[in-house]
């Protein structure tokens, strides 16, 4: 078991529906990370922006971006995380990939399609909540709109980290800030949110506000609105264990079963 988990969060502009240019941009940013980290996190739909043009943006699991993630993970000796549009069995998914240095890939399909943008009509919803076990840490990955649904994130699996990648726009950024903090507090876990910045082709503005909160809701990251940033944060297993043991809030959680 590894006591500390060092993560790097990359808050970036995205080039609309241009996987090649986005891969080049992120490769340049990855080169700037010169210290050893365990996990590097990219935003939601990091190859395309939040597009409903699934046929244009989609790749396959054997495609160039997945190979790029495998290469980057091996080269940097770190896990690489982000979501992209994947076509599989005649369906389109907003799929988060957790790619480990030795080539293992864990996937999570976004459960809650953002109906305000019609995502629920374009992309097939996931049906499985995923827990990733990596270096002795248990990580629960989710995507953007999932953040508004606390039951889907409820810590019934004793995970250590709740992770969101997002394209969360400026008009609702207060909700993003508030809900990330709430998810950390109610689940007594670290909560990580990685958002993008800049304008997309629909003229929606994204202000960043990527953040990491500890189990008591303390923000560990700097103010980073409206700019591209790379920030490294070290998570502590003992911080989780001491606070859970001392406070015991998770012992009083309700029991329930999820149906999908």
Between the alpha carbon of residue 183 and those of residues 57, 173, 190, 200, 206, the distances in Å are: 31, 15, 9, 28, 21
Residue ranges in 46-166 assigned as alpha helix (H): 54-57, 64-76, 119-122, 150-153
Length of the chain: 260
Residue from 17, 44, 100, 186 carrying the catalytic annotation:
44
Residue from 144, 181, 186, 191 carrying the catalytic annotation:
144
Residues 6+ positions from 9 with CB-CB distance below 8 Å: 41, 192, 194, 210, 212, 221, 229, 230, 231, 233
Residue from 110, 140, 181, 186 carrying the catalytic annotation:
110
Closest to 211 in 3D by CA, of 27, 7, 4: 7
Residue 100 annotated to the active site: no
Residue 110 annotated to the active site: yes
Residues 6+ positions from 250 with CB-CB distance below 8 Å: 155, 158, 187, 188, 244
Between the alpha carbon of residue 254 and those of residues 38, 186, 189, 197, 257, the distances in Å are: 33, 12, 17, 37, 10
Residue 44 annotated to the active site: yes
Active-site annotation, residues: 44, 110, 144
């Amino acid at each position: 078991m590894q006591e500390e988990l060092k993560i790097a969060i990359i808050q970036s502009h995205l080039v609309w529906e241009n996987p090649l240019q986005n891969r080049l941009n992120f490769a340049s940013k990855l080169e700037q990370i010169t210290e050893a980290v365990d996990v590097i996190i990219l935003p939601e739909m990091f190859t395309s922006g939040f597009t409903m043009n699934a046929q244009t943006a989609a790749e396959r699991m054997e495609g160039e971006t997945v190979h790029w993630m495998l290469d980057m993970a091996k080269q940097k000796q770190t896990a690489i995380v982000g979501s992209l549009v994947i076509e599989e069995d005649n369906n389109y998914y907003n799929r988060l990939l957790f790619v480990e240095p030795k080539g293992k890939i864990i996937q999570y399909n976004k459960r809650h399609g953002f109906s305000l943008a019609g995502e629920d009509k374009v992309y097939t919803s996931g049906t499985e909540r995923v827990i990733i076990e990596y270096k002795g840490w248990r990580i629960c990955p989710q995507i953007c709109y999932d953040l508004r649904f606390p039951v889907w994130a409820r810590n019934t699996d004793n995970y250590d980290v709740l992770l969101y990648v997002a394209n969360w726009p400026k008009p609702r950024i207060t909700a993003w800030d508030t809900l990330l903090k709430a998810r950390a507090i109610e689940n007594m876990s670290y909560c990580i949110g990685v958002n993008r910045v800049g304008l997309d082709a629909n003229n929606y503005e994204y202000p960043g506000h990527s953040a990491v909160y500890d189990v008591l809701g303390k923000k560990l990251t700097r103010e980073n609105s409206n700019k591209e940033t790379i920030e490294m944060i070290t998570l502590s297993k003992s911080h989780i264990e001491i606070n859970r043991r001392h406070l015991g809030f998770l012992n009083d959680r309700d029991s329930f079963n999820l149906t999908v």
